[in-house]
Amino acid sequence: MRRTLAAAIGLVSIAAAAAASAEPPAGAAACSGCHPASTRVTSPVPRLAGLDQAAIVRAMQDFRSGTRAATVMDRIAKGFTEAEVQAIAAWYATQR
């Protein structure tokens, strides 16, 4: 019984995570202004869909701290909290 409940709770959190990943978190939709959503567009700016979550987070941290050279991303990265970046990166990692 206890195990069934635990399994049920586990399912709830998985369902919640799935529902949350369907809708882009705050700020994520704006990225595709420059980062192509489509594979048909050629751009020196990389697509974010399918990128590793940790890699996106690291890039944003480095843009914010100035350790990675940037044109506009240094100015944009400073507008997002660590938690927002984590959520955006997690969402893009699930996109294709």
Partner 1 sequence: MRVSRREFLKLGGAATSAALFPCPTFAQGAAPRVVVVGGGFAGASCARALRQADPRIAVTLVEANATFTACPFSNAVIGGLRELSAQQFTYERVAADGIAVARGTATAVDAQARSVTLADGTRLPYDRLVLAPGIDIRWGALPGYDEAAAALMPHAWRAGEQTLLLRRQLEAMPDGGLVVISAPANPFRCPPGPYERASLIAHYLKTKKPKSKLIVLDAKDAFSKQRLFQAAWAELYPGLLEWVPLSKGGNVTSVDAATGTLVTDFGRHKAAVANVIPPQKAGRIAEAAGVADRSGWCPIDPVTFESKLQAGIHVIGDAAIAGAMPKSAFAANSQAKTCAAAVVRLLAGGAPSAPKLINTCYSLVAPDYGISVAGVYQPSGGQLADVPGSGGVSPTDAPRASRAAEAVLAEAWFRTITGELFG
- Please tell me whether residue 17 binds partner 1 under the rule CB under 8 A: no
User: Which of 6, 17, 29, 55 is in the footprint of partner 1 by CB under 8 A?
Assistant: 29
Amino acid at 63: F
State how far the Cα of 93 lies from the Cα of 72, in Å rounded to an integer.
22
- Please tell me whether residue 3 binds partner 1 under the rule CB under 8 A: no
45: which residues sit within 8 A by CB, 6+ positions away?
34, 35, 36
- Please tell me whether residue 6 binds partner 1 under the rule CB under 8 A: no
Give the number of residues in contact with partner 1, rule: CB under 8 A: 37
Closest CA to 21 of 95, 91, 96: 91
List of residues contacting partner 1 (CB under 8 A):
1, 4, 7-8, 11-12, 15, 19, 23-24, 26-27, 29-38, 40-45, 71-72, 75-80, 84
